Each structure stands twice: as C-alpha cells, then as structure tokens.
Amino acid sequence: MSTVSKDPPKKHLLSAQIDLSKFSAAQFEAATEEEKRQQDVMSESTTFFKDGMRKLFKNPLAVGSLIVLACIILTIVIAPMIVPYRYEEILSVDGKRDKGAKNLAPFTYSQMEQKYIDNGGERFPHIFGTDEQCRDYFIRVVYGTRISLSVGFFASIIVLIIGMLYGSISGYLGGRVDLIMMRIVDIIYSLPDMLIIILLKVVLDERLQFPSGSFLNKLGTSMVSLFIVFGLLYWVGMARLVRGQILSIKENEYILAARSIGASPARIIRKHILPNCLSVIIISTALQIPSAIFTESFLSFVGIGVKAPMPSLGSLANAARAGLQSYPYKLIFPAIMICLIVLSLNLLGDGLRDAFDPKLRR
C-alpha cells in the first residue's frame, strides 16, 4: 500500500468538480424510488439471437410463412390420427372391396358407401376424393407432404453435417491441405449435379440392398439412395461457405488468445469459430430445404423418386397427369402443397437472412 496523504489533492483551477467538503449531510436528501427509476435508462440486455428473432417477427412475410408451415406440419401430424384410412389402403366397406370408389370427386361417396351410410353406418368423408386405385386421396397427399418435407429436412441436415466438417477442417488447417481439399470441391462443384444425381439414383436403386427388418430396409432403398445422393453432391456449396467464413473469423484476436493459452484446434473450431458463423450456416440450411424438395419432386416426376405405393408430392402430381382431363383436382392438391411449402420456406429463409446476417446490418 502506498502512503495516503491527509491533504486533499490540489484542485485544478479550471476543474468543475464539486468540493464535497463544503456541504453537510443535511443538505442532501435521498432520491425517491421514482427518481431512481428515472435514472434507469439501460435498455434490456439483448443477445444476438434475441435481437435476430425480434427482427424476424417484425417481418410480416416471414411470420406468415412460419404460420403456414406450422399449419402444414400440424396437419400432417394430426391428420393420420383422425382419418381412418391408410395411404396404401384400398377402400373397402364392411370388409368387402369397394370397386365403385374409383376416382371419386372430393366429399362424395361411392354407391356402396352411400348404401352403407343409408343403413346407418358411418363413413369418414373423402376430403380430396379418391384416386384411380380406390385409395383415399387426402391421406395420400398428407403422407406425400410428410415424405417430401422429411426428405428436404434430412437431406439438408446431411448436407449441413458433411459440409460443415469438411469446410471447417479445410478452412482451419489452411495451406496445402486447404488447397487440395478445395480442388476436390471445385471439381465436384463443376459436375452437372442433376445429371449425376439421376445417374446415381438409377444405379443405387438397383444396387442397394438391406437386411430385411432393419431400419434402412423399412425406410426403403429409394429413400436411402435419395439421401446418399444428396449427401454426396450437395455438400460442396456448404463446405465452401463454411470455409470462407472460417478464413475470415480465424484472423480475429480472440482466436489467437485461445491458441496462446493452449486450446486444441478442435476446441477452437467448436467453441469459437462455429458459433460465430452459425447464422450464415442456419440461413443457407433453411434455403437448402426447398431446393431438396424441388429435386425430390423432380426425381419422382422423372420416375426415380420414392417407390410406389409410398407417395411423395412429386409422384402424386406425376400420377395425376394420366387423368388430367377428367380429374384436374388431383394435380391441383399436391401442386398447391409443393408451392406453399417451397414459397414459405423461401420467404422464411429470406427473412432469416435479413434478421441474422450481420453483413446486412445497418
């Protein structure tokens, strides 16, 4: 401790500081609660995430798409519990096959069903009618939406994982490793993806075999090969993005600080770099989902998507072409579903970008 002098420090001639020794305690009065609160001008502390969410919820388009998506997801979760039909079930009344229930218009019954209802039986309405194989069309569209959405979602997750690992390793290590890894990415990037996807899908559908009873077998070869195809080709964009982010983040001082106290590269990537490029990754994942859904519906349309009797929105729309002249609504329902999903995901992705991308911050 240094010595404390008893004299007050000498005041500067121009200092505006109040000399407290000239006042006594009686001349002061305590501030009331209200006055104290007036001083309290600090706004609520906000995190990056909270701030982004607030911006997102101010964007009417993004909120609208969130609501639409929530409605669609609720429907596809709840509807199979309420509707008594299954997607591959051929309609039957009282255990007898109902041959008249072919291509019914929405909310109509076949003759057999009508008779059954007249006799006091209850029959769940066919909300979207039935298809040419006497199956309830509403439940098929619901399952098709389920499959298309989950394909989009899981494909994006696969792309995210592979791309993030590859990009972060390449970007962090840098140097020759980075050069070689990025050359590989360049080559895959320059391949015409759609053609290779079609080719891979054709071959994988023939080649893949899983032991019966396993999870993969239950999922079906066509679904698994779809995921493999996405995983093999679409990660390059993500890898490039992550690498670019990491290259710019790597130069920051806090990375140097972490390295100087002996943090391992894995820890630096996990704890310091990834959280900082998270927003960009989330946005591009959100925008990846609709493009995966598009690709899936394209493949289903060409005839190499998910296998019948499993429906997807693309295969439903494709099947509807056969009876287009007489039953146009069969095209309209899955088509509207695809458009709604893709549109709302696109708008949500745009909203996320506006809310979370620091580069757009003013």
Q: Which is nearer to another protein, 51 or 357 (CB)?
A: 357
Least Å from the CB of residue 290 to another protein? 8
What is the distance between the alpha carbons of residues 306 and 225, in angstroms, rounded to a whole number? 9
Whole-number minimum distance, CB 19 to another protein, in Å? 56
CA distance 154 to 19: 70
Of 89 and 350, which has the nearer Cβ to another protein?
A: 350
Nearest CB to another protein, comparing residues 49 and 329: 329
| Element of type H or E holding 92 | strand 92-93
Nearest-approach distance from CB 343 to another protein, in angstroms? 4
Residues 6+ apart with CB under 8 A from 284: 237, 238, 241
78-100 burial code (b ≥16 CB/10 A, e <16): ebbeebebebeebbebeeeebee
CB of 158 to another protein, least distance (A): 20
Q: How far is the CB of 186 from another protein (least distance, A)?
A: 7
Task: Specify the residue, 2 or 326, whose C-beta has the smaller distance to another protein.
Answer: 326
- Give the DSSP per-residue string, 130-175: B-TTS-BHHHHHHHHHHHHHHHHHHHHHHHHHHHHHHHHHHHHH-H
Binding site for another protein (CB under 8 A): 186-187, 190-196, 198-200, 202-203, 206-207, 290, 294, 297-298, 301-304, 314, 317-318, 320-321, 324-325, 328, 331, 335, 338-339, 342-343, 346-347
Spatial separation of the C-alpha atoms in residues 299 and 226, rounded to whole Å: 9
